[in-house]
Amino acid sequence: MPATPTFNRREFLKGGLHAGAAAAGIVGTGAVLAGCETTANNSPSSIIDLGRPTPTDWRRLASTLQGTLVLPSSPSYANDRLLYNSKFANLHPSAIVYCETSQDVARCIDFVTRHSIEVAARSGGHSYGGYSSSPGLVIDVSRLNSITVNTRSNVATIGAGALLIDTYNALGNAGRLLPGGSCPTVGIAGLALGGGVGVFARKFGLTCDNLQTVHMISASGDALRLDESTHSDLLWASRGGGGGNFGVATRFEFTVHPMPQITLFSLEYPWNAATSVLDAWQQWISRAPDELWSNCLLLSQGNFGYLTQISGVYCGSPSGLESLLAPLRTDIGTSATSIFVGSNDYLEAMKIEAGCSNLSVAACHLSAENSSGQLNREAYSAKSSFLDAPTSASRTQDLVDAVATLKDYAPTLGGGLAFDSYGGVINRIKSDQTAFVHRDKLAGIQATYSWSSDTSFSDIAAGERWLTWLGSNVFDQASGAYQNYIDPTLSDWKSAYYGANIERLVRIKKKCDPHNIFRFAQSIPVEL
């Protein structure tokens, strides 16, 4: 039970009334508002800036929370401030709150508003831009991670802090599937709010396409329930408009699907076949049934040569997949050096996609976040783009050459291009039906390079130059970029991520967060 805070006269006059209300549980009590506009008691004219929080202010906040406040003086701060990508190890928030309830979230939002400090929501902490950290307060929702599945209505209720591996485990146990992403430690909130591209997306849509309801604490600290009839604009924006822009989601309801038969495959080829592999793959996926999802990986592996791989997931039997693979293999015209085709259950398939197939669910977590976890943080940079249609022979060659060019920049760095098939259900949804605009693509492309603690600064900088070169010279900049691979170096990010949907997103932002409380370098602005 949180202790009741006390107020001195100065604090009371400066706005303790509202803070007192928060302490008494009046803020974010779950009252569902008719609109997301700023509420009267928290309108800008009624907010008195209390200035940067003092240690007493932080203590007072802590006393109102069921969750845990972590300050720089706390023993766990050194670990708790870190994001997944270790290149953000230099970020030092003023505080982190591990919220236990949606009221905790509301109290945090009230606190940052009163003290005019920066805020960022954090779920799995995998933002490519480090945008789930902030110099002010990090509202961490990882403890809001319960998952329940109603197999009669085919609806899963998933806390905003649930990680993908735990989500797949719970759903798999219930015999249900939610299309999601690959990395086991990505948070459901960041994934779903920005889209959610994965191995079942061609058959069942993006994660955000399966989002029915969002429970969110708004910029004014109110608990909103977004569905098709209430706050439908904000629900529209939550389906691909990007995390961190409109409020802090606490819980989602998703449509889930009865489990299909699942077959995985992987084909590897020598690097000298890479051009014909990429060419044949593009033609093949442009004709593929919804049941088939695939990706093509072209990697330069430093001292270990190259990798040319086509892999994927088929909702059907191994024999059905074999017949689909036959024309692809004929078109490639070179023998694969390694072939795998096998039936898997959902959890096993997702663990293979996650790269932790030989680990238990508990072990498929970060060691820093879970005592059984065996995964480590990574350091990488990335850039994304799309293919609108199969590329010409010369452009295909350019894409392959771009991978090999990484060796000219830094011979020992690992990196390359991953092509993920779009199409199917993804493309049958109109581009303005949800905030996720990329509905006419053949494939997404992601360029990445990664490094370890042994990599020299000059190699890391060379990798960055390779990415920049690739973004300007190889990628088709008009084709857009995927907002969940958020890219701090992108200048025209508004149109790249959101296309024509940016105008509606800005209108919703202006209505729901007029004072731009939820802001970061690439957040939806209140004015275009």
Ligand X SMILES: Cc1cc2nc3c(=O)[nH]c(=O)nc-3n(C[C@H](O)[C@H](O)[C@H](O)COP(=O)(O)OP(=O)(O)OC[C@H]3O[C@@H](n4cnc5c(N)ncnc54)[C@H](O)[C@@H]3O)c2cc1C
Using CB under 6 A as the criterion, which residues of the chain lie in contact with ligand X when the complex forms? Answer: 84, 120-128, 131-132, 141, 160, 181-183, 186-187, 189-191, 193-198, 243-244, 248-249, 484
Which of 497, 494, 464 lies closest to 480 in space, CA to CA?
Answer: 497
Based on CB atoms, which residue is closest to ligand X, 38 or 381? 381
Question: CB 397 → ligand X: shortest distance, Å?
Answer: 27
Based on CB atoms, which residue is closest to ligand X, 5 or 242? 242
Output the CA–CA distances (angstroms, integers) from residue 381 to 86, 469, 523, in the order listed.
11, 13, 19
Count of Cβ atoms closer than 10 Å to residue 167 Cβ: 26
Sheet holding 338-343, edge to edge: 338-343, 262-269, 306-315, 292-301, 414-421, 443-451, 379-387
The burial of 263, by beta-carbon neighbours within 10 Å (0-12 exposed, 13-18 middle, 19 or more buried), is given as buried
Based on CB atoms, which residue is closest to ligand X, 21 or 91? 91
Contact between 140 and 166 under an 8 Å Cβ cutoff? The reply is: no
Cα gap 244→219, rounded to integer Å:
11
Beta strand pairing call for 147-150 and 223-226: unpaired
Q: At residue 388, what is the residue type? A: D
Instruction: Read off the tokens for 303.
Output: 């001292």
Phi, psi angle pair for 267, to nearest 5°: -130, 130
Based on CB atoms, which residue is closest to ligand X, 257 or 377? 377
Based on CB atoms, which residue is closest to ligand X, 198 or 390? 198
Based on CB atoms, which residue is closest to ligand X, 186 or 332? 186
Question: CB 382 → ligand X: shortest distance, Å?
Answer: 8
Containing 196, the helix (H) or strand (E) segment is: none
Cα gap 349→342, rounded to integer Å:
10
Count of Cβ atoms closer than 10 Å to residue 212 Cβ: 16
Beta strands in 431-471 (DSSP E): 443-451
Based on CB atoms, which residue is closest to ligand X, 193 or 442? 193
Q: How many helices (H) and strands (E) does the chain have?
A: 17, 18
Question: CB 48 → ligand X: shortest distance, Å?
Answer: 27
Based on CB atoms, which residue is closest to ligand X, 266 or 397? 266
Question: CB 485 → ligand X: shortest distance, Å?
Answer: 6
Question: CB 335 → ligand X: shortest distance, Å?
Answer: 30
Question: CB 484 → ligand X: shortest distance, Å?
Answer: 4
Pinpoint the alpha helices (H) of 96-227: 102-115, 164-173, 188-194, 201-204
Based on CB atoms, which residue is closest to ligand X, 331 or 440? 440
Instruction: Read off the tokens for 228.
Output: 């098709």
Based on CB atoms, which residue is closest to ligand X, 23 or 178? 178
Output the CA–CA distances (angstroms, integers) from residue 512 to 15, 36, 46, 89, 237, in the order listed.
22, 5, 17, 32, 11
Based on CB atoms, which residue is closest to ligand X, 122 or 329? 122
208: Cβ–Cβ under 8 A, 6 or more apart, which residues?
Answer: 192, 193, 194, 195, 196, 238, 239, 240, 434, 435, 436
Cα gap 423→441, rounded to integer Å:
6
